[in-house]
Amino acid sequence: MIKLLAGVTIFFLVTATNFSSLSAHEPLFGFGPDTIRKGGYAIEGEFEYERVGDERETEVAADIMYGVTEYLAVSATIPFIINKQEQENGKCEAFRSAGLGKLEARAKYRLYFDYQYGKRTQVVLIGGIRFPTVGLNKNPALGNRTMDFIVSTAAGYETLQASYFGTITYTINTRGHGQQEGNELNLTLSAGFRPEPISYYKLDWLFFLEFDLVHTAKAKIHRSKDNNSGGYVAFVGPIVFVSKENILFKAGIQAPMFEHVNGMQEKHDYRVAFGLDLHF
Amino acid sequence: MFLCALLVVAPLCFQSAAVKGAAEAVHSGIKEIVIKVKGMICPFCSNALERALKARPYIKQVKNIDLQAGLVDLLIKDGVTMTQQEMETDLATTIKEATFAYDGVEKVIS
């Protein structure tokens, strides 16, 4: 009962005080520069599948975003890992686990904007927290039970014909139970275009090419570095957005363009994501 | 006595006439207004603007949104007691809060 109450409390704290990444046309695997109107809110459902060697992870997530002012949006992400599967080297047996991931709360503040006819330039600052909400005694583990902190800045130049985004995100992982995941640096660059002239009353199609570079520092176990962790991988892949009125569907697939991981680690194969946004 | 009554009633009559005049002035008589909005770059984000505008008590309908020209055509409810200046001030605030920029009036139909 106490656990249930604590869970409900955390959920409401997160949803009441958090922030979001869901907005309009944005990078699929990174943050974007769009906020939401004052008093408006958005709901998003997401699905993500990633395959890394013998490892597979399928995740669904719900995002909620609220516009506190025209400059500040707060949001919460509630991820649920449907299936995480790992296979030990030399063994046929695969281990599977499922459960709640790390709840995430974010705030997005619009630092700079310039609006012209059919053009929009924006820069935002994003801060977030990931909470240690993953289940205990899972094999494979669904994540570490530590608090993570996210700092990011995203810029965008959007027109009626094309859009360009750039994002830098740094994730600071804290120590817990003698272990510390390596901090992560993400660089996202994306460019998209509309194949036909835009109209407010027509279905809007937007095609993107998204590039993501992820650098992860070595993890630490009892203050010594784990040489079989960390490295960098660069993903690239197409993304499509389709929207009508206040409904937006997005989908994308990415494969590694180049990869360098330390020690004995599985290499990335591909990742797929799609989501449905509703703005109110 | 009559003079005293006149001194009391006369200003009230003038005041009443002045109030009546002012009341007539606040009836804008605007039936339709086309405004210029910056920052509209897609139907999905501009839908937030439509929702924000529809929520204003004096707007009957968002008749048309032209993304290419940056124009929003609004139908105004009958009997609205606002001056055009007051309406423009409120529209500018609403549009700003919807994360767009108001850039004035293109056309007014009375």
pLDDT in tens, A170-182: 999 998 877 888 9
More confidently predicted of A190 and B26: A190
Quick one: average pLDDT of B80-86?
90
Q: Report chain A's mean pLDDT, rounded to a whole number.
A: 88
Quick one: average pLDDT of A105-126?
97
- Of the residues B35, B37, B44, B64, the best mutation for testing chain A's interface (the one with the most A CB atoms within 10 Å of its CB) is B44
Choose among B40, B66, B96: nearest Cβ to A70: B96
Percentage of residues in chain A with pLDDT exceeding 90? 70
- Complex-level ipTM: 0.83
Percentage of residues in chain B with pLDDT exceeding 90? 66
What's the pLDDT band for A95 if we cut at 50, 70, 90?
confident
Quick one: average pLDDT of B7-34?
55
CA A120 to chain B, closest CA, distance in angstroms equals: 5
Rounded to 5°, angle at Cα B43 from B42 and B46: 85
Tell me which chain B residues have a C-beta less than 8 angstroms from the C-beta of A243: 42-44
Quick one: average pLDDT of A111-124?
96
Is A199 at the interface with chain B, CB within 8 A?
Answer: yes
How far is A137 from A151, CA to CA, in rounded Å? 30
What's the pLDDT band for A141 if we cut at 50, 70, 90?
confident
Is A119 at the interface with chain B, CB within 8 A?
Answer: yes
What's the pLDDT band for B16 if we cut at 50, 70, 90?
very low
pLDDT tens-digit readout, A35-62: 999 999 999 999 999 999 888 999 999 9
Is A245 at the interface with chain B, CB within 8 A?
Answer: yes
How far is B6 from B46, CA to CA, in rounded Å? 60
CA B80 to chain A, closest CA, distance in angstroms equals: 25
Please give the residue of chain B at the shortest CA–CA distance from A35: B99
Using CA atoms, how far residue B60 sits from A38, B30, B50, B75, in Å, is: 21, 12, 12, 5
Question: What are the b/e assignments for B65-74, b being 16+ CB within 10 Å?
Answer: bebeebbbbb
Output the pTM of the full model: 0.83
Please give the residue of chain A at the shortest CA–CA distance from B40: A118
How far is A195 from A161, CA to CA, in rounded Å? 8
Is A228 at the interface with chain B, CB within 8 A?
Answer: no
